[in-house]
Amino acid sequence: GAVVSQHPSRVICKSGTSVKIECRSLDFQATTMFWYRQFPKKSLMLMATSNEGSKATYEQGVEKDKFLINHASLTLSTLTVTSAHPEDSSFYICSAWDRGRGRTQYFGPGTRLLVL
């Protein structure tokens, strides 16, 4: 299947700092990437849809100024959690849509964020 990577896999930061998470499609070009958040033992919660070269579309209730998304190229999208607080601690997962292979979403391995 298609390969999607995320970096870092785990990050611990102090409250008030900003954290950037990268999502890369390694073997295909992704015009659309998605960012999810997952709480323990819960399903995926879509945060935003990231389109290459345009502004991200955020789901209702997701603060766009808090979670900055940039999709600068066909293989890279970034999520920046600004002024992180302990309640932002979570598992963040990205996915990318592969038009050529299966026409569905392939997920990254996730990034675990812990804000102290």
Partner 1 sequence: QKEVEQDPGPLSVPEGAIVSLNCTYSNSAFQYFMWYRQYSRKGPELLMYTYSSGNKEDGRFTAQVDKSSKYISLFIRDSQPSDSATYLCAMSASNFGNEKLTFGTGTRLTIIP
**Smaller CB separation from partner 1, 15 or 99:** 99
19, 34, 37, 115: residue in contact with partner 1 (rule CB under 8 A)? 34
21, 81, 84, 93: which one binds partner 1 (CB under 8 A): 93
Token pair of 73, please?
């190229």
CA distance linking residue 7 with residue 109, whole number of Å = 9
- Minimum CB–partner distance for residue 83 and partner 1 (Å): 26
Beta strands in 9-115 (DSSP E): 10-13, 19-25, 32-38, 44-51, 57-58, 67-73, 76-81, 90-97, 105-107, 111-115
Q: What does the binding site for partner 1 look like in residue numbers (CB under 8 A)?
A: 1, 4, 6, 30-32, 34, 41-44, 46, 49, 51, 91, 93, 95, 97, 99, 102-110, 112
